Chains A and B, each alone.
Chain A
Amino acid sequence: MTQLKVVGSSPSRIDGLEKITGAATYVDDLSFGPDLLHAEIVESPYAHALIKRIDTSAAERVPGVVRVVTGKDFPYRFGLYMQDRFIFPSDRVRFVGEQVAAVVARDAKTAKRAAKLVKVVYKELEPVLDLAGALKDDAVLVHPDLGNYPRCPWFFPQAGTNIAHYRKTRKGDVEQGFKEADVILEDTYTIPRYAHCAIEPHAIVGLYDLAGRLTLWSASQSPYTQRHVFAQALAPLGLSHKDIRVVTPYVGGGFGGKAGVSMEIIGAALAIMVKGHPVKVRWSRAQEFYNTYQRQGVIARIKLGAKKDGTITAIEHTLHWDAGGYVEYGANVVNAVGLSATGPYRIPNVKIDSVCVYTNLPPGGPYRGFGYSEFHFGLESHITRLARKLGIDPVEFRRKNAIREGDTLAYGAKMNPSGLHEAIDRVAAEIRWGHKESSTDPHKVVGKGFACFWKAPAMPPNAASSAFIKFNEDGSLNISASGMEIGQGYLTVMAQIASEMLTVPVHRIRIEPPDTDRNAYEWQTVGSHVTWGCGNAVKAAALDVRGKMFEVVERALGLVRDTLFLEDEKVKCRARPDFELPFKNFVISGIQTPHGNFIGGPILGSGVFMPEFTSALSDPETSQGGHPNVHYTVGAAAAVLEVDKQTGRMRVLKAVLAVDAGKAIHPELVKGQVTGGVLQGLATVLYEDIRYDLKGKLLNANFTDYKIPTALDLPDEIVPIIIEVAQPDGPFGARGVGEHTMIPAAAMVANAVEDAIGLRIKTLPITAEKVALELRGIRYDDVKGAYMGLCFAGQPDAYDFRTTSAKKK
């Protein structure tokens, strides 16, 4: 490969102008004319109840109401990995806020007024609100029909229990490993739920036209996956993929919350019921919190053993996840962690149990980090603690055990090339690890915390990407692919890849958000995999285009294909230095011969990428035998934290994060992911604090009471470090980085808190209030009052991981 010209540079974002001028269009900005109908949802006030009767007659009599829809109209289930969710439940509700009916009216105010007139008679059931309640012997079942749900082959639900999925990974002999250990540390960590808080609420407009075609304009990370899930769910009505079109304009933030299908199924269903009229469903901020996905809560027990010299000998990691009322996507988070909860370390003896548990709380699902943020909090806290117990520096301990290329992963496959050691070294140097800092204020102390991280995309083994590239008359390019621009800069990166291959400058390339009727297939934009997967497809399409250009030039002009190359938007020839053919002279109209005829025609190419080396098939008792993950992206991070001993208030003086991008195609975008991800991660430790009442109702479903960071909450300094150890099968060596940047935040803060004030906090969040109380010897859990924030209502240390249900397996 010659010197890269575009890949590795940082051109202006190609969506930048649209976004700063207000030209960028999001779903709610689209105009559908005066025929647009509006929907209002009737929601369950109970966490768990049987629906006895729904009386819609009063609502239907309101002038302007077009239709009232209930579960009777749609007795269908849907779901990405397991079909356990209902378009509208007809028999029972499983969380507070679940949709029970929808009123479709001519205007939003009428819909809202009429929705209040829908009478639903419930029989309240005992709700399952925490893990202990869900897993006890005589637990109330959230899904009595669990055994009958269609699911992907790598899920193992346990019918007759609340266990939706149980991922076991076994490597080596953990008992022997702990025997070999000189020091063993065992403890419990608890992580509450979190909300994505993209600033754009979910919105969908559906139109089932009179010819029977269903078009959805959807704020989604997953247009093709949505179409597929809609087609599956609506198949009983005779719809298939050909009849369904999903158009996704710009998305105002995703973070996993707009992956798969959540509320969008309602838009599809309502459109069917009001054939011929477009109907809009737009979520309120409150609905964003309780009826899309939440990050799942988890309680984790870690037992880690090491020899005196610092060699880790064994890990036992047990995680019980509060996955909510529906787990069609969330169970795959649990699955991903069950394969990777060793963290980025070489550990010979491994026992992981990752258990997905139904509760009557809002559905859990994908959230930036996909379970890895959660387990890294415990694991990276534990790594530092075990190092201290061994008398070894925590960074040295990490360096000694950090995974290397070729090491055997917990499930038996080999580790990909990795710059983890370089990341550790560079973060340690940048943070001046080992150099104790102090504050001039006698009430304040300063601590440092370190954490490593890794994450693999969680995707089915056949998650494919594809792309088309076509030329325009002026030699400019259109790329058609279906990755989603959710802010990460995907469009710009794809344009850079095509630009590098075809020499057309980035500003002469147009690539837009997808439309499933017109754009090439992409599974979905999740898992930080599109730079890699879709980037490979775009690169392949560019190669196809180049080959077709050479073919035309060879055929028309008799120049040998192997002597041709591209430079500055021209075809050139090594054998004929005087030859140059500008693209615009032939990429549409072809090349004229002396006879007057034209050879060639519009140049267009296609490219496909399928990770053919992966497989999700493995032994359910050990997870050995498959290759479920394509690769891991690794890194390290550290924080300098100032703690005010009087108030508990914490300030991040400096945060450093190094991530191995393989190849940073657009280094400024990578740095942007670091800055944004670090702040989002810090918020989950320092401010964001979700609360439910004792009947399962979310208490703080708004930005007044659920605090996300403002410009005032930025750390004093964030230093992004890009490591580049190439991913051999990535485009120009690239792998994804987007999710990873928030993963180490919780552990690095917890480790810094301990360094500063000597207190080990094992439950998130680590708010100023909690720190202030703990500094006075008061256990936060003892004084927090009558609400629930955690997946376990009791004291975490008393949680019994050896549940009856779990033992059945």
Chain B
Amino acid sequence: MTKRITLKLNRETRSVEVEPNDILLDVLRDKLGVKSPKIGCERGDCGACTVLLDGKSVRTCLILAIEADGQEITTVEGLSQAGLTPVQQSFLEHGSFQCGFCAPGVVLSATELLGRNPHPSEAEVKEALAGNLCRCTGYKPIIDAVLAVSRKPGRRI
């Protein structure tokens, strides 16, 4: 038994057949071809599969695809369509990633944070990123990059 769901994925309307127990992460990667959300733990611990669902960061390994029917999903592929966002630019300048596997999820969590709180404190940045595990960087260059964006006046996130 399958069901057809419709999503607005990176501003494009996409329709796809899913099984009731398909998780959103697998559907994004295997049926819709969007590969930036990564499979890291499959239980909501690591944040590598983060996307923005109607503007809020969620872990797609914990969501059934059918739950996302009719909603809007943004991945890093969607963010960069019109060139780098200020968050991405700052991450590039700060050398915020090493292996890069966690990067798409971290970029989205940071984007969400700065969207609702353009001038977060360091503690707020750490709190907002605490759900995205990074084993390489020690987080410091990521935190620095987010704070640098917040300090630049008048920039859209």
User: Which A residues are closer than 8 A to B by beta carbons?
Assistant: 10, 12-13, 15-22, 24-26, 28-29, 31, 196-201, 250-255, 282, 284-285, 485-489, 668-669, 672, 675-680, 702-704, 708-712, 714, 718
Contact = CB atoms under 8 A, between A and B. Distances in A.
Contacts of A672: 95, 98, 137-138, 141
Contacts of B137: 672, 675-676
Contacts, number: 165
A714 B131 CA distance: 14
Contacts of B45: 285, 702-704
Contact of B46 (A199, A250, A255, A709): A199
A21 B133 contact: no
A12 B140 contact: no
B95 A669 contact: yes
A718 B143 CA distance: 13
B43 A17 contact: no
Contact of B97 (A16, A677, A718): A16
Interface string B132-152: 111111111111000000000
Contact of B39 (A17, A28, A712): A28
**Residue picked from B101, B130, B142, most chain A C-beta under 10 Å:** B101
A469 B10 CA distance: 39
Interface residues on B, range: 35 or more
Contacts of A486: 98-99
Nearest 4 A/B pairs, CB to CB: A252-B101, A487-B98, A19-B100, A22-B36
B9 to A, nearest CB: 13
B114 interface: no
A22 B80 contact: yes
B127 interface: yes
Given A12-B93, A253-B135, 10 more contacts: A197-B135, A198-B99, A199-B48, A252-B99, A676-B136, A703-B41, A703-B46, A711-B134, A711-B142, A718-B138
Given A31-B33, A702-B43, A253 B101 contact: yes
A764 B129 CA distance: 28
A606 B39 CA distance: 38
Given A486-B99, A676-B136, A710-B130, A20 B39 contact: no
B73 interface: no
Contact of A489 (B98, B107, B126, B127): B98
Interface string B72-100: 00011100100010001001110111111
Contacts of A678: 138
B43 to A, nearest CB: 6
**Residue picked from A21, A201, A486, most chain B C-beta under 10 Å:** A21
A336 to B, nearest CB: 23
A697 B35 CA distance: 34
A285 B130 contact: no
Given A284-B42, A714-B143, A21 B130 contact: no
A21 B84 contact: yes
Nearest to B36: A22
Contact of A253 (B75, B99, B131, B139): B99
B58 interface: no
A15 B43 contact: no
A712 B75 contact: no
B102 A199 contact: yes
A201 B100 CA distance: 13
B103 interface: yes
Nearest to B81: A21
Given A199-B48, A711-B125, A714-B126, A19 B135 contact: no
A675 B141 contact: yes
B104 interface: yes
B38 interface: yes
Contact of B138 (A10, A251, A680): A680
Contacts of B120: none
B92 A20 contact: yes
Contacts of B91: 16, 20
Given A29-B35, A284-B42, A675-B140, A20 B84 contact: yes
A25 B104 CA distance: 12
B55 interface: no
